[in-house]
Amino acid sequence: MTKRVSMPAVTVHGLAQAEAALAAAGPRGVLLLSGRGAAGHAGPGWFLALVALAAERHPGVPHAAALDCADAGGAALAALRAGARILVLDRACPAFPAIAAAAAEAGALLLAERPPSLDLAGFDARRRRDMAALRAWLATEAPQAWPKPPSP
């Protein structure tokens, strides 16, 4: 039986969004998901540092980070080398089987599609309706079709 993610996903594009998601997450936590293809655009180091800083500013909040590689196999391998523990890679990527093997060897989780998430593009924590939407999303049950993130 496959274990499932017990936390909802939120797509973050910057530090303020990651911090808002962690601040609103509560004890269930949150899966911080990068924008589509962020591994190839901004590189894995940027996203991993963003999540680490947000987590440092919100200690004790359960969270995981998933880096989207789109269909870029090279970006996925670079993300694994950088220490990413959850990757999203389009199953149509020709290197998917090899990257799945590399992820398994590294103890990382490779997802063939993005989990459902609330995209925080345009989000502003000063707007009451934005914060209400974030809190409502985080209060919903996480989709049950996603594997449990690996332990760090």
Q: What are phi and psi of 58, to 5 degrees?
A: -135, 65
Distance of CA 13 to the CA centre of its chain: 11
pLDDT score of 13: 96
Domain 10-139 has CATH 3.40.50.300: no
Residue spans per domain, the chain = 10-139
pLDDT score of 144: 41
The span from the CA of 62 to the CA of 52, in Å, is 12
pLDDT score of 6: 60
Which run of H or of E encompasses 59? none
Helices and strands counted in the chain (H then E): 6, 6
Burial class (CB in 10 A: 0-12, 13-18, 19+), 121: exposed
pLDDT score of 142: 52
pLDDT score of 151: 52
pLDDT score of 145: 44
pLDDT in tens, the chain (152 residues): 223 446 899 999 999 999 999 999 988 899 999 999 999 888 899 999 999 999 999 999 999 999 999 999 999 999 999 999 999 999 999 999 999 999 999 999 999 999 999 999 999 989 999 999 999 999 885 544 444 555 55
The span from the CA of 47 to the CA of 69, in Å, is 12
The span from the CA of 69 to the CA of 135, in Å, is 27
pLDDT score of 141: 59
